[in-house]
């Protein structure tokens, strides 16, 4: 049996059903190009008849020269008791002008009789005639058998007859859907095994994650002969989401010898997943398999020790195979070794019994107690180490600052900041406006310091995250601010914690600027030597 | 075979290895009590010898009268080439004074020879003697066979001998661990099936989620005879996390007829999961099966229609069985019906062809375009509807406000707010300090309005969330603020969006107060009628 598994991404269609997801046409086009370049086989969008946005998308998608993927439009079988040519939803699917059409129909007898309310025979005709209609138009037709597993468990004979009807209509693939996400992998495996070989077309799987087993269900289907997997690249979708294709591809294509992507694309999985998350404007779960920030992060001291001896002792795959990175986390559990590695980056001459090591450990615990976390804020951590090692100098002194957020009578709300700093005995006072108090403060601080350090003109913030540490006290809770900065080349992250969002932002801003100035100074020194 | 499956929660031990998790002793005690009342069978904490926090925890846990659960301490087999009595880690486990001891040992020959670097025979003695040591002290001993599946695939005979050694030592349960999380459900099922019946003790499963299949692996193990499941209640743990017990319990105990909890506890699953998340200070993934906020949320119009006809048509279980709630989401896809339901809550006489329905739809789209999302902010949505229906009056007029965040020379940072409002032609100007600018503004607004509306004294904020909508523009990005308020009885949520966090917070604050005042006025009117 062939090892090729067709990957069918429905981020633009089923994924758009997810709570919190709302794509613009631009977003959809960017995802289309990204997934095509990644080597996905099919990309499904919606129905141009049901939504003007989808109509615009399909019109603009025609101008995109796809390298690998085939674009698919998605719609229902014709309605009951009318001719297929007379169904406006069926006709509107043609407007998408795609090479592939996905038609979904009912497999579960209860849905036929109680939800769409027609006869079992009429439902078979609806499936057969709709598939045949699109085959006659020269389309590749994928038939999605909605609620197939629920239907099969209720009335296996009828469920099989619905598949037969799609094959009679000329369907190129039959996709068995666990629409409600309630089926277990052992059931999926057994039922798929029975269906494989019964029809002369590819069998596929479409799983939902309501039992937390959509990936396992998809894998079980492929192990039992399915060769087409539907899902969304990072798993979003209605309710608990669709099957996560990035996980499935890594499981089947990296850990097993199935062909899911072009061979050189597996190592882009992490990159593509994070890009999809960014375009979709959702936060990737840190613990997401393969692609999450914690996927290859080790915290326990023993695990870190083991991975250092032999990486496969505590890693199921080499992270590089999917483009991921091993990380060792700083924490009380991982202990001294991690801290020492960081100290040695700043000063390789410190021994592990040096009292400064203890002082750094102690300071770290104090800061963690205050709500700091240095995971993902390595630059602030380096500054903590430098301060204890005496390898730190401050580049400016703050005299004072004031932020004003003002809603004047009959005017627009505005934020501004005044700041006075001293550098080498020289005062500088300045002010700036901003979109929000932190933006105003950031602008004023840079403006004041650029007089002394013109290199700061290249630095800007690329990400700003606010985390309320203790939501229960509401607006008086502590907040942790994470800043990501760049000079166009390096990227660094800093952290600040306070009950006041302005103060927390200020602390992270100062770390960001000091870190940059320290690196500049070191670069100058090493050029001189 | 018995249907009882022992539930073993390791949130306090393996869960504490998760990135971003840092428990205080208080947190651990609260989790202990919560999980015990929920009816979990075993609760595992760490090793009092490795960590002073764990020592304090076990000392204080003795004062807790557990109703259902047994407390377990966790440690390794003795080190190589010493007597078990002389191993300080083994001895320190006794300090925990728990009825149950969990001992982990090596099953994978490669780990024996290359990581702990001893002979295969010595490893068997380490397992046997350590288990026997704790049995002689009267403990119930659970043996965790680390890397069992990797070991079995590499050298099945040796892996089985390690289990045999634990049984010879007197182990009460053998737990097969997929430590690296790399094993597939089909493999787990087949291997567990071979082990069941080979030993006269309970077999258990301990799965990690590196392939996104920890739940499926645990379910497969139970389907093949395992009767003890280890995991963490909401799935956090090192790297991609441990098996999620809330999902496993719902799958086995609600969807199948296994006994995982006392019968009346299944409907507390959602509540307990959210409580665990709150104590652990982590955000629950919205799409988490059974327990996530989106788990039973329907967005597609057809699904909503189907669920209204027969809930099991698009739901794999009744949400109430786990204490969840069905939700219908507002969005362009779900269409008019949802909006109409909301309109009818305010005014049952509006017909669906009324032009006001179109106006509300249009306004909703404009606001979504600006970055609003009303999912989870139903009270703000109701205000939008009321404004369009003319069923809204404002309870105060803002004259102006000013917020000052000040870092004075040699002083502490502080925030304060000045506000002037007008109610029924009467002016009130006041000021307040706060922990942060939003807190100061909130305090000042309430102080000003309490003069006119003393009922507001009961209202306070219970949650404050900030979401940066577009992280790329950093501090100038748009922010969405979600506020949750309560008067001690009802809970309501409101939303505000702006490029300025102060303005976004202000908009959500005003909605929160107006919503409360509208409800008060309506309650007074209905009492009068």
Does any CB of chain B come closer than 8 Å to the CB of residue A257? Answer: no
Does any CB of chain A come closer than 8 Å to the CB of residue B442? Answer: yes
Question: Are B409 and A402 in contact (CB < 8 Å)?
Answer: no
For residues B195 and B201, what is the distance between their CA atoms, to the nearest angstrom? 11
**Lowest-pLDDT choice from A361-365, A507-511, B95-99:** A361-365
| pLDDT over 50 at B310, yes or no | yes
Burial class (CB in 10 A: 0-12, 13-18, 19+), B524: exposed
The pLDDT score that the predictor gives to residue B472 is 43
Assess if CATH 3.30.160.270 describes domain A397-528. Answer: yes
- Rounded-to-10 torsion of CA B482, B485, B491, B492: -50
CB A92 within 8 A of CB A63: no
Would you state the structure tokens that stand for residue B74, as one six-digit string? 């966790």
**Lowest-pLDDT choice from A64-73, B283-292, B503-512:** B283-292
The pLDDT score that the predictor gives to residue A383 is 93
Does any CB of chain B come closer than 8 Å to the CB of residue A65? Answer: no
| pLDDT over 90 at B335, yes or no | no
Mean pLDDT across the stretch B67-78?
Answer: 97
For residues A191 and B391, what is the distance between their CA atoms, to the nearest angstrom? 56
The pLDDT score that the predictor gives to residue A312 is 84
Mean pLDDT, chain A, whole residue set: 90
| Dihedral pair phi/psi, residue B412, rounded to 5° | -90, 150
Would you state the structure tokens that stand for residue A48, as one six-digit string? 């141009």
Q: To the nearest whole percent, how much of chain B has pLDDT over 70?
A: 95
| CB interface of B with A, residues 285-344, below 8 Å | 285-290, 292-300, 303, 306, 309-310, 312-317, 329, 331-333
Helices (H), A333-377: 336-346, 355-370
Residues 6+ apart with CB under 8 A from B170: B131, B132, B135, B141
For residues A415 and A437, what is the distance between their CA atoms, to the nearest angstrom? 5
In terms of Cα–Cα distance, which of A300, A274, A490, A217 is closest to A378?
A490
| CB interface of B with A, residues 118-177, below 8 Å | none
Element spanning A148, H or E = helix A148-154
The pLDDT score that the predictor gives to residue B299 is 74
The pLDDT score that the predictor gives to residue A300 is 62
pLDDT per position as a tens digit, B427-468: 999 999 988 888 899 999 999 999 899 999 888 877 777 777
pLDDT per position as a tens digit, B346-368: 888 888 788 998 888 888 878 87
Mean pLDDT across the stretch B88-96?
Answer: 94
Residues 6+ apart with CB under 8 A from A173: A6, A141, A142, A143, A201, A202, A203, A204, A228
| CB interface of A with B, residues 393-422, below 8 Å | 398-409, 413, 415
Angle at A307 (CA atoms; ends A306, A308), nearest 5 degrees: 90
| pLDDT over 50 at B231, yes or no | yes
Angle at B500 (CA atoms; ends A487, A374), nearest 5 degrees: 50
Question: Tell me, what's the ipTM?
Answer: 0.76
**Lowest-pLDDT choice from A188-202, B165-179, B408-422, B481-495:** B481-495
Question: Are B406 and A408 in contact (CB < 8 Å)?
Answer: no
CB-side exposure of A97: number of CA atoms within 13 Å?
10
Q: Which of chain A's residues have a Cβ under 8 Å away from the Cβ of B286?
A: 19-20
Mean pLDDT across the stretch A401-428?
Answer: 90
pLDDT per position as a tens digit, A162-209: 999 999 999 999 999 999 999 999 999 999 999 998 999 999 999 999
Burial class (CB in 10 A: 0-12, 13-18, 19+), A267: middle
CATH number of B6-280: 3.20.20.70
Question: Are B476 and A22 in contact (CB < 8 Å)?
Answer: no
| CB interface of A with B, residues 361-390, below 8 Å | 368, 373, 375
Helices (H), A260-335: 269-280, 301-309
Does residue A290 sit in helix, strand or coil? coil
Mean pLDDT, chain B, whole residue set: 90
Burial class (CB in 10 A: 0-12, 13-18, 19+), B79: middle
Question: Are B17 and A442 in contact (CB < 8 Å)?
Answer: no
CB B406 within 8 A of CB B413: yes
User: Is the pLDDT higher at B166 or at B340?
Assistant: B166
Does any CB of chain A come closer than 8 Å to the CB of residue B479? Answer: yes
Q: How far is B201 from chain A (nearest CA, A)?
A: 25
Write the CA distances from B79 to B89, B92, B161, integer angstroms. Answer: 9, 14, 19
The pLDDT score that the predictor gives to residue A138 is 98
Q: Which of B309, B477, B501 sits opposite A115 (nearest CB)?
A: B309
Question: Are B474 and A463 in contact (CB < 8 Å)?
Answer: yes
Would you state the structure tokens that stand for residue A242, as one six-digit string? 């669709």
| pLDDT over 60 at B203, yes or no | yes
Confidence of residue A214 (pLDDT cuts 50, 70, 90): very high
Mean pLDDT across the stretch B165-193?
Answer: 98
- Rounded-to-10 torsion of CA A251, A252, A254, A259: -160
Would strands A491-498 and A479-486 be described as parallel, antiparallel, or unpaired? antiparallel
Mean pLDDT across the stretch B496-508?
Answer: 90
User: Is the pLDDT higher at B363 or at B151?
Assistant: B151
Question: Are B405 and A293 in contact (CB < 8 Å)?
Answer: no
For residues A322 and B330, what is the distance between their CA atoms, to the nearest angstrom? 37
User: Is the pLDDT higher at A492 or at A329?
Assistant: A492
In terms of Cα–Cα distance, which of A100, A50, A125 is closest to B302?
A50
A contact test, residue of B311, B405, B429, B463 with most A CBs within 10 A: B405
Would you state the structure tokens that stand for residue A229, as one six-digit string? 């997997």
| pLDDT over 60 at A334, yes or no | no
Residues in chain A: 529
The pLDDT score that the predictor gives to residue A331 is 56
Q: Which of B255, B460, B464 sits opposite A468 (nearest CB)?
A: B464
For residues B141 and B134, what is the distance between their CA atoms, to the nearest angstrom? 7
pLDDT per position as a tens digit, A43-71: 999 888 777 778 899 999 999 999 999 99
For residues B162 and B276, what is the distance between their CA atoms, to the nearest angstrom? 35
Q: Which of chain A's residues have a Cβ under 8 Å away from the Cβ of B216?
A: 184-185, 212-213, 215-217
Burial A230-255 (b: 16+ CB within 10 A, else e): bbbbbbbbbbbbbbbbbbbbbbbbbb
Burial B379-390 (b: 16+ CB within 10 A, else e): bbbbbbbbebbe
Question: Are A498 and B413 in contact (CB < 8 Å)?
Answer: yes
Q: Which of chain A's residues have a Cβ under 8 Å away from the Cβ of B154?
A: none
Does any CB of chain B come closer than 8 Å to the CB of residue A442? Answer: yes
Question: Are B297 and A51 in contact (CB < 8 Å)?
Answer: no
Does any CB of chain A come closer than 8 Å to the CB of residue B223? Answer: yes
Q: What is the largest CA-CA distance in chain B?
A: 90
Query: Domain map of chain B by residue range?
Result: 6-280, 297-389, 397-528
């Amino acid at each position: 049996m062939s090892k090729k598994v067709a990957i069918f991404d429905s981020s633009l269609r089923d994924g758009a059903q997810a709570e919190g997801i709302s794509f613009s046409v631009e977003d959809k086009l960017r995802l289309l190009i990204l997934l095509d370049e990644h080597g996905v086989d099919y990309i499904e969008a919606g129905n141009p008849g049901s939504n003007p946005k989808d109509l615009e998308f399909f019109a603009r998608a025609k101008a995109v020269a796809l390298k690998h993927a085939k674009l698919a439009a998605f719609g229902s079988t014709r309605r009951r008791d009318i001719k297929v040519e007379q169904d406006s939803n069926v006709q509107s699917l043609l407007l998408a002008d795609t090479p592939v059409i996905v038609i979904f129909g009912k497999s579960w007898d209860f849905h036929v009789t109680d939800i769409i309310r027609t006869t079992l025979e009429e439902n078979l005709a609806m499936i057969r005639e709709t598939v045949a209609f699109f085959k006659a138009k020269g389309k590749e037709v994928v038939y999605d058998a909605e609620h197939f597993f629920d239907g099969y468990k209720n009335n296996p004979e009828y469920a099989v007859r619905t598949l037969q009807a799609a094959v009679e209509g000329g369907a190129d693939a039959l996709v068995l859907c666990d629409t409600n996400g309630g089926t277990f992998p052992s059931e999926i495996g057994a039922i798929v095994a029975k269906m494989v070989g019964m029809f002369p077309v590819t069998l596929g799987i479409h799983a939902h994650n309501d039992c937390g087993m959509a990936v396992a269900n998809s894998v079980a289907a492929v192990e039992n002969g399915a060769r087409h997997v539907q899902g969304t690249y990072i798993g979003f979708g209605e309710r608990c989401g669709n099957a996560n294709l990035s996980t499935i591809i890594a499981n089947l294509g990296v850990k097993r010898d199935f062909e899911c992507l072009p061979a050189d694309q597996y190592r882009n999985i992490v990159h593509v997943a994070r890009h999809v998350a960014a375009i979709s404007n959702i936060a990737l779960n840190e613990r997401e398999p393969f692609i999450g920030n914690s996927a290859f992060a080790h915290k326990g001291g023993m695990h870190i020790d083991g991975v250092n001896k032999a990486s496969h002792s505590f890693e199921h795959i080499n992270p590089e195979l999917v483009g991921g990175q091993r990380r060792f986390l700083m924490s009380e559990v991982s202990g001294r070794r991690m801290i020492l590695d960081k100290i040695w980056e700043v000063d390789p001459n410190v021994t592990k019994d040096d009292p400064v090591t203890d002082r750094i450990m102690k300071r770290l615990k104090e800061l963690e107690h205050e709500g700091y976390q240095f995971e993902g804020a390595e630059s602030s951590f380096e500054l903590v180490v430098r301060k204890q090692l005496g390898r730190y100098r401050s580049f400016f002194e703050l005299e004072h600052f004031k932020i004003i957020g003002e809603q004047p009578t009959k005017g627009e709300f505005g934020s501004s900041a005044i700041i006075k700093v001293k550098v080498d005995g020289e005062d500088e006072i300045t002010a700036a406006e901003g979109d929000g108090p932190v933006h105003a403060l950031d602008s004023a601080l840079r403006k004041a310091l650029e007089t002394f350090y013109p290199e700061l003109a290249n630095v800007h913030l690329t990400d700003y995250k606010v985390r309320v540490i203790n939501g229960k006290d509401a607006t008086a809770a502590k907040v942790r601010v994470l800043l990501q900065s760049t000079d166009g080349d390096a990227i660094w992250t800093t952290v600040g914690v306070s009950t006041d969002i302005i103060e927390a932002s200020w602390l992270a801003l100062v770390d960001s600027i000091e870190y940059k100035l320290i690196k500049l100074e070191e670069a100058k020194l090493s050029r001189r030597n």
